[in-house]
Structure 1
Amino acid sequence: MKKSLLAAALLSAFAMSAHAQSSVTLYGLIDTGLVYTNNQFGHSNWQLNSSSTQNTVFGLKGSEDLGGGLHTIFKLEQGFLLNNGAQAFSGLGFGSQAWVGLQSDPYGTLTFGRQFDVMNDLVGPLTAEFNTWGGSIAAHPFENDNLAANSVVINNSVKYASPTWYGVTFETMYSFSNKAGDFANNRSYGFAVSYSQGPLNLAAGYLQFNNAGTGSGAVTTSDTSANFLAERQRVWSLGGNYTYGPATVGLVWSHSQIDNVAGVYSFGTGTYLGANDDSAGSLAGSLRLDNFEANVKYALTPAWSVSGAYTYTHGAYNGSSPGWNTAMLQTDYAISKRTDFYLEGVYQNVHGAPEGSVLSHAMLNTLSPSSTDTQVAVTVGMRHAF
């Protein structure tokens, strides 16, 4: 009898220990709102929209303690559109993220699968468009620098993230084309570094795509991850912010070089503008874009905040010099730790673009383009995290 009780106690203790060493968590975030736009394809529009500020997702994440400071980790995440239940990344079971890897406390983390790029990881959080207090709708024109929250997801990728040493973190990644005999076609690679110490945060990064959108490589058209169809896209970015009491102020610069661009993709339209839409005008040649963003967030109370951002984007395209002014203003109120409501307005104007080209149409991220050089959108929304 005593032996049986001892065996049961040992078995129970072992089960509890095993449970403590591994975990799986179901999580998610829902963002929905009513959006008024003054011009979409020449008409004003009221619409129920999803993911105006943050991707609407659910997922599973977990870890297993292997001992000696080593862990197995994974994440499987799917984005969806709340208004109709559709997948945000069409045809993919876990389109937002799908990766597995090893995390070492002293040596860093190595992960494999479909992941966000390293520049988005480290530089993105310094921008308004990455955060809930600005969000996807306030992204830089055409989301040309991939700094908005997790809009481009990269296939076939291997990513390394260092531990934090004296406030410094480094990440690098390489994404394979997975095509025999065409190793360099539709591949991606990049690196980024950040520094965080007290109220100061700094980050810089580089990202490159080769022939994005073709085949089943790093970034494809089939899942809407490709923002540009181009021979090559290179992005440099640099930013910082400083927190003083309830206020955080940030500055971010990014430069995008897009060679032999064939088209621009808008998540809101579901079609390729320029490549397949004659009404928008076709693109050819190379496009250069410099984005200069200033942003601020101020906490009026622990529950109530106001935020704003302004971005001037200077372009160069076939002898023309288009320019974009994008401004955002938001107020947000949290009624609990997991639920908040927001009111946000975003304005964009473009000037100097070739007449009739896709560049001459204002187009806020996640929305269909305007028929003119100006677009204004106002959103009343709700977010819930679980």
Structure 2
Amino acid sequence: MPARCCAATATSRRRDRSHAPRHDGIARAPAGFPHRSSAWLCSGFVATDTAHAPSKTTSPVWRNEAMTTLRLRSPHRCRPPALAAAATLAALSGPAHAQSTLTLYGVADAGVQYLSRADGRHAAWRLQNYGILPSQLGIKGEEDLGGGWRARFQLEQGINLNDGTATVPGYAFFRGAYVGMGGPAGTVTLGRQFSTLFDKTLFYDPLWYASYSGQGVLVPLSANFVDHSIKFQSATFAGFDVEALAAMAGIAGNTRAGRVLELGGQFTSRGLSASAVLHRSHGTAQGGADRSAQRRDIGTFAARYAFASLPLTVHAGVQRLTGELDPARTIVWGGARYQASGRFGFAGGIYHTDSPTPQVGHPTLFIASTTCSLSKRTVAYLNLGYAKNSGRSAQTVYEYDPTPLAGASQFGAMLGMYHVF
């Protein structure tokens, strides 16, 4: 019997509930996927799925970060005969085998939404993409380089379930495209990626990723993702971790244009977590208009506390925005998340903005959300939101909605479901 030259093992990873929503699901590798790795060239491949009844298959089982992840091992005996001698010498120095992971993942989220003053005056019922988790499709991978070092990449695109298009036209991977390397001290990534402001604010908002949340208030749309960026995320030492990001537009003769500089830190001890972020970005120089001298400065401090005796986490924070790119404002928020049982969860938040600029004014956003888990991968939800405006303020319920409310308040309700895979 010929020896099997490739082995696949599946290991279960569990994401920390305090940092991200759970993703549970399974997806098969698409037919015809280019098999570049030497591990794919070996015969006798069998994938093992520990979450379901075991079955043999000729295509691998891929899972996302919170699911079983396929790991490919490439023992030296799979190498061509011409490399056998070199492989033997390497084996004498120790049993080191390269290990790689490749993960295909996604989210499909849509619901029916009622929105008052949907156009500034009239109410509307509509099928709305994205209520709790942004609809998306992505692929990411890692390779063990040895000595505690790993190479990684990620490509992620937002999907509009209403018509199957990209959420933002013109981007092949709007939600991220980067490559990087991680080691014992931390990880460096290069490309288009989430800002430090987003990373260190998201999970201090009690509504997390939801479209009815404070993200549209706390993170300007242009500061959500950063192009041409280099980001460093440190490992955690004694409860502390640090993240820094720098980005340049690469315009000859103008190093300020499009520049972004960020620094964030986080401390966690028992149930308490606290985060602080400093963000500075400059305007662009495009189409003959040079706004590179204009700035956006944001400072954010937030905290959350998870009770040990209750499935309850409380959140609070404050943010100050100044500069020429956006009207100055101060934002304070607070809220809570409560997991009533294994199936039901509740979250609510209040976000108040205070600005001397009439177009921003003093609006308050009230949000409540409940979820019901139908399975490990499918969740139904109900979002409720009310934006209280006055004067000329135009706070909307749905994040980043450009509707010109001009002082009119708005109510929104969305009943939907999402499935992760």
TM-score where L is the length of structure 2:
0.73
What's 2:161 paired with? 82
Counterpart of 2:375 in structure 1 is: 336
1:23 is matched with which residue? Answer: 101
In structure 1, distance between residues paired with 2:274 and 2:252: 40
User: Is the radius of gyration larger for structure 1 or structure 2?
Assistant: 2
Superposition map of 1:66-215 within 5 A: 66-104=145-183, 106-131=184-209, 135-139=210-214, 143-146=216-219, 152-211=224-283, 215=286
Letter in 1 for 2:73: S
3-state DSSP of counterpart to 2:283? strand
Report the CA distance shift for 1:209/1:317 in structure 2 as closer, same or farther (over 3 A). Answer: same
1:315 aligns with 2:355: yes
When the two chains are superposed, the root-mean-square deviation of aligned CA atoms in Å is 2.6
Q: How many Å apart are 1:379 and its aligned residue? A: 0.4
Instruction: Note the alpha carbon deviations across 1:92-112, whole angstroms, 9 max, x for none.
Output: 1111100000010x2210100
Deviations 1:85-129 (A, max 9, x none): 12112111111100000010x221010000001121122211134
* Cross-structure match for 1:248: 313
Ranges in structure 2 where 5+ consecutive residues have no aligned partner: 8-37, 40-71, 76-97
**CA contact under 8 A between 1:188 and 1:207: conserved in structure 2?**
yes
Counterpart selection for 2:127 from 44, 48, 60: 48
**How much identity, in percent, do the aligned residues show?**
25
Q: Paired residue for 2:114?
A: 36
Aligned residues of 2:257 and 2:292 also touching (Cα < 8 A): no
For residue 137 of structure 1, give the secondary structure of its aligned residue in structure 2.
Answer: coil
Q: Distance in 1 between matches of 2:200 and 2:231?
A: 13
The alpha carbon displacement at 1:208 in A equals 1.5
In 2: Cα distance, 1:144 partner to 1:308 partner: 15
Q: CA–CA distance in 1 between the matches of 2:395 and 2:293?
A: 21
Structure 2 residue 9 is matched with structure 1 residue 9: no
Question: Which AA in structure 1 matches 2:351?
Answer: T
CA contact (8 A) 1:52 1:366 kept: no
The 8 Å contact of residues 177 and 192 in structure 2, kept in 1 or not, is answered as yes
Q: How far apart in 2 are the matches of 1:339 and 1:147?
A: 30
Following the alignment from structure 2 to structure 1, what is the Cα–Cα distance between the partners of residues 202 and 220? 5
Q: Is the 8 A contact 2:207 2:347 kept in 1?
A: no
Q: Give the total of aligned pairs.
A: 329
Which secondary structure does the structure 1 equivalent of 2:203 belong to? helix
Which amino acid is 1:145 matched to?
Answer: L
1:259 aligns with 2:334: no
Higher share of residues assigned strand: 1
Contact 1:119 1:204 in 2 (8 A): no
Could you tell me how far 1:192 is from its partner in structure 2? 0.5
Q: CA deviation at 1:383?
A: 1.1
> Aligned residue for 1:231?
294
Q: TM-score, normalised by structure 1?
A: 0.79
The higher-RCO structure (CA 8 Å, 6+ apart) is 1
Contact 2:204-2:302 within 8 A present in 1 as well: yes
